[in-house]
Amino acid sequence: LEEAAFQLQQIFRIDISIALNILGIESMRAGHCRVAFTCFKLAADRGYSKAQFNVGLCYEHGRGTEKDLEKAGFYYCQAASSCHPMAQYRYARYLLQHGPGSHWDRQHKAVTLLEQAAVAGITEAQAYLGVFYMRGLQPQEKRGLKYLLLAANSGDAQSRYHVGVCYEQGLGVQQDLAEALRHYRQSAAAGNRQARERLRA
């Protein structure tokens, strides 16, 4: 009976959190940012990762509350620890730009989170990692190209442009100008200005 009561409490807690988060989303869509933030915060403080991510967004962009990057990082961290992929991406970006601690520790933790988010299919994380591995102090071109291709295949025109650069310059792959042109054309067709300029050149 005790176990059953505990399970019922858990279900009730989760259902309330889901309802509050949905109410927050609807309030945000209606332009009631303060109400939305209150709903997200109530659900977040109950441990609901989707609401924790939404609270992070509110603090990052100053929607319904004062802009506070430290608090945004805190809530992204909470959601990321529950394996929320977009929170993993956002918290990784926070660590790289604003986080506490040594640069090496922050970078190591951020890359781990970015890789988790990339594997979960977050295009932004794939694109970020692709560029990160290409431009690092010790470039890992093959690894960078792998993530750029993932992002490009998810529809990211900027990553498609970078893949073209890889083929044109032989970065992480054998140089192939025909393949570079193919990627530039696809990127340009998706509206990428750099790809259009590269094609003209």
Rounded CA-CA distance 90/73 in Å is 8
**Mean predicted confidence (pLDDT) in 131-146:** 87
Looking at the chain, the whole-number percentage of residues with pLDDT higher than 90 is: 79
pLDDT at residue 98, rounded to an integer = 82
Look-up of token digits 């340009």: 188
- Kindly compute the dihedral angle of the four CA atoms of residues 85, 88, 92, 95, in this order, to the nearest 10 degrees: 160
| Residue 136 banded pLDDT, cuts 50, 70, 90 | confident
Question: What are the structural domains of the chain?
Answer: 1-114 (1.25.40.10), 121-200 (1.25.40.10)
Residue 12 confidence (pLDDT) above 60: no
| Residue 164 banded pLDDT, cuts 50, 70, 90 | very high
Q: Are 128 and 88 in contact (CB under 8 A)?
A: no
Category of 191 on φ-ψ map: left (φ > 0), alpha (ψ -120 to 50) or beta: left
